[in-house]
């Protein structure tokens, strides 16, 4: 989103919120000025429905403006999260590759064949997860 659009959206939301607040204050001042209870109830009822509609529009505009402002930060945060997770996925692959190297002599048959197979599976899974996490981060 362009900076001009963000500023415009936030500015419009702020102006609408100010207008709603001033209408709300004026409605309360007007309701307090009336002496009759019937007129107060009627004015407050009609004013509250108009205020509710205006507040709903204001809330939607403000949410749209804030969402537009935060969207670029969300994209960067998501890419950063994927890269951090990629590092954390590559750490077990690095640790278990040491065990894989230690048991390499037993790859086909031997006393440590099961440990070699388990280490190989763990290294393969975590390498896949780490590399795919980095690829997804670089695509964003």
User: Checking phi first, is residue 2 left (phi over 0); if not, alpha (psi -120 to 50) or beta?
Assistant: beta
pLDDT for the residue numbered 40: 47
pLDDT values of the chain reduced to their tens digit, one per residue, 140 residues: 565 677 777 777 778 877 877 777 777 767 666 544 445 445 555 557 777 777 777 777 777 878 787 788 888 888 999 999 999 999 999 999 998 888 887 777 777 888 888 899 999 999 999 999 999 998 86
pLDDT for the residue numbered 124: 95
Q: Which residues, in sequence order, are CB contacts of 28 under 8 Å at separation 6+?
A: none
Neighbour-count burial of 111, counting CB atoms closer than 10 A to its CB (0-12 exposed, 13-18 middle, 19+ buried): exposed
Question: Is-above-0.85 flag for pTM?
Answer: no
pLDDT for the residue numbered 45: 54
Around 78, how many Cα atoms within 13 Å sit in the side-chain half-sphere?
12
pLDDT for the residue numbered 94: 93
pLDDT for the residue numbered 11: 74
Question: Using CA atoms, how far apart are residues 31 and 42, in angstroms rounded to an integer?
Answer: 9
pLDDT for the residue numbered 115: 85
Question: Using CA atoms, how far apart are residues 104 and 117, in angstroms rounded to an integer?
Answer: 10
Taken in order 103, 105, 106, 112, the sign of the CA dihedral is negative
CA angle, 100 then 102 then 108, to 5° = 65
């Amino acid at each position: 989103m362009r900076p001009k659009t963000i500023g415009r959206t936030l500015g419009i939301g702020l102006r609408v919120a100010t207008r709603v607040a001033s209408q709300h204050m004026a409605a309360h001042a007007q309701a307090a000025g009336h002496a009759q209870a019937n007129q107060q109830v009627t004015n407050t009822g009609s004013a509250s429905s108009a205020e509710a509609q205006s507040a709903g529009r204001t809330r939607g505009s403000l949410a749209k403006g804030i969402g537009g402002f935060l969207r670029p930060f969300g994209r960067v945060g998501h890419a950063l999260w994927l890269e951090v997770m990629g590092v954390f996925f590559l750490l077990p692959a690095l640790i278990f590759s040491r065990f894989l190297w230690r048991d390499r002599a037993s790859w086909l048959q031997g006393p440590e064949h099961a440990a070699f197979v388990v280490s190989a599976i763990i290294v393969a899974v975590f390498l896949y997860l780490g590399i795919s996490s980095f690829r997804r981060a670089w695509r964003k």
